[in-house]
Structure 1
Amino acid sequence: MHQDWHHLLFLHWEIPAAELQALVPPRLTVDTFEGKAYVGLVPFTLSGVRPVMTPPLPWISRFHEVNVRTYVHLDGRDPGVWFFSLDASSTIAVAAARAAYKLPYYDAQIELMTSGDALPVIDFRSHRTDPRGPAPAHCHARYQAVEGAASASAPGTLEHFLVERYILYAEDEQHRLHRARVHHQPYPVQRADVLALDETVVWAAGIRRNDSVRLRHYAREVNVKVYPLETV
């Protein structure tokens, strides 16, 4: 599956690893950096979503998303992402991702507006409408990149630990574990200014974060391939 991702905001909070471990499948272990575990909140826009070698369809290939995640590994290897929730503005995308990737996608009303060019201000607003998901679950984030060149994060840094993940894990209704590999060039990241933040999607996932965002990063665009799901 080919996808283009735009205007990504990565927000991270430190969470006790034991609290996150209780929320992921028992075969997975919460990954830590220098003994600390993190939960992430990532709003962004997707475009060009389509199977490889097929053209995009504008009315279904572009939509907005916000996901809540943590970072895991399997038996000390294969570091990846575990998603607690993914809210999306396309009912078709939600149904397809649930069927093909066993991910906890939920229908939501989402708007993303940008103003400016060189350092655009992004205003992202979402409201979960899906009765399958815990509620209330909304997210309003207003953000922009800090002036300066975007660059790939350096291996061995916390930034690299958080953003450079190339496996997603999922669990089906029978509690079988699956994974899919993801390929893209390293994120061109910059520090982000968060001008406003009002969200309950992290809380809806059962995670009690504090009010202080630990890390803020922005990536303007990345081209992505997501490979088919495989059973672990």
Structure 2
Amino acid sequence: MKQAWEDLVFMHWPVPPHILRPFIPSQFEIDLYNGLAWIAIVPFHMKDIQLRGFSAIPVRNHMLELNVRTYVTYNNESGVYFISLDANHRLGVFLARSLFGLPYLNASMRMVKHNDHFVFLSRRNHKGYEPAHFHSRIHVKETLLPSNQGSLAKWLTERYALLVVRGSNVYKGPILHQHWELQNADVVIERNDLLNFLPDHLFTQAPVTHYSKFLKTSIFPFEKQP
């Protein structure tokens, strides 16, 4: 599958690994930076969705997404583990849950952008789930960040595989894209129900926040891992 991602915001908080451990499948090791795990909320606009072997989807070929993610390793390979993925595309949510086993959830969403400021609003409305809200205001800084090897920003964002557990098996979904072009950003979070499973005191400080304007991606079939 090919996709384009735009107006993507990474909001990261450090978390002691023992607090996060109960929410991560036992098959995975939690990936750490300076002894800490990191959890992120990532809103963005997805468009130009194209399945391999087909032309671009002609109807509803775009959606808003809001995911909660952390970083894990399996057999010494690092990847992204999604705790939840909210989206405002009911067919996309159904297919992602059915075909890939990813924890997508239906939500009503809105993004309003004006120059370097924008607002992202989401309310989960998936049957059988509490209606979790997320409201934020983002201000993007102008200067691009240098892509320094070993930096926290690079460690948090340069990941090229999704890892998921289905039944008793682990699957890897490779992702191919150019390096992120990141800018610093400030965020004011007015409501955040997405991380209610973790203690409130972990989120009293503002998150480490980065913004990327646009990125094209290719996502390859999931591979069963040994």
TM bin (shorter chain): over 0.9
Name the amino acid aligned to 2:181.
Answer: P
Name the amino acid aligned to 2:220.
Answer: Y
Whether 2:133 is the aligned partner of 1:138: answer: yes
Using the alignment, how far apart are the partners of 1:90 and 1:152 within structure 2? 35
State the partner residue of 1:56.
56
State the partner residue of 1:65.
65
Using the alignment, how far apart are the partners of 1:27 and 1:186 within structure 2? 28
Using the alignment, how far apart are the partners of 1:92 and 1:129 within structure 2? 14
Using the alignment, how far apart are the partners of 2:69 and 2:42 within structure 1? 8
Using the alignment, how far apart are the partners of 1:107 and 1:88 within structure 2? 5
CA RMSD for the aligned pairs?
Answer: 1.5
State the partner residue of 2:154.
160
* Structure 1 residue 58 displacement after superposition: 4.7
State the partner residue of 2:111.
112
* Structure 1 residue 171 displacement after superposition: 1.7
Whether 2:117 is the aligned partner of 1:124: answer: no
Name the amino acid aligned to 1:13.
Answer: W
- Structure 2 unpaired stretches of 5+: none
Name the amino acid aligned to 1:51.
Answer: L
State the partner residue of 2:22.
22
Using the alignment, how far apart are the partners of 2:108 and 2:153 within structure 1? 30
Using the alignment, how far apart are the partners of 2:8 and 2:108 within structure 1? 18
Identity %: 29
State the partner residue of 2:218.
225
TM-score (norm: length of structure 1): 0.91
TM-score (norm: length of structure 2): 0.93
Any idea what the Cα deviations from partners look like across 1:34-83, whole Å, max 9, x if unmatched?
Answer: 111111000001001121353323533200010001100013x2100110
SS of 2:142 mapped into structure 1: coil
SS of 1:19 mapped into structure 2: helix
Q: Is the 8 A contact 1:144 1:218 kept in 2?
A: no
Question: Which structure 1 residue ranges, 4+ long, deviate > 4 Å from structure 2?
Answer: none
Q: Is the 8 A contact 1:115 1:121 kept in 2?
A: yes
Q: Is the 8 A contact 2:136 2:188 kept in 1?
A: yes
Whether 2:179 is the aligned partner of 1:186: answer: yes
Q: Is the 8 A contact 2:136 2:189 kept in 1?
A: yes
* Structure 1 residue 105 displacement after superposition: 0.2
Name the amino acid aligned to 1:26.
Answer: S
Any idea what the Cα deviations from partners look like across 1:202-228, whole Å, max 9, x if unmatched?
Answer: 21xx22232213411111110011111
Using the alignment, how far apart are the partners of 1:122 and 1:53 within structure 2? 35
State the partner residue of 2:37.
37
Q: Is the 8 A contact 2:125 2:131 kept in 1?
A: no
Whether 2:8 is the aligned partner of 1:8: answer: yes
Number of residue pairs matched by the alignment = 223
- Structure 1 unpaired stretches of 5+: none
Q: Is the 8 A contact 2:185 2:209 kept in 1?
A: yes
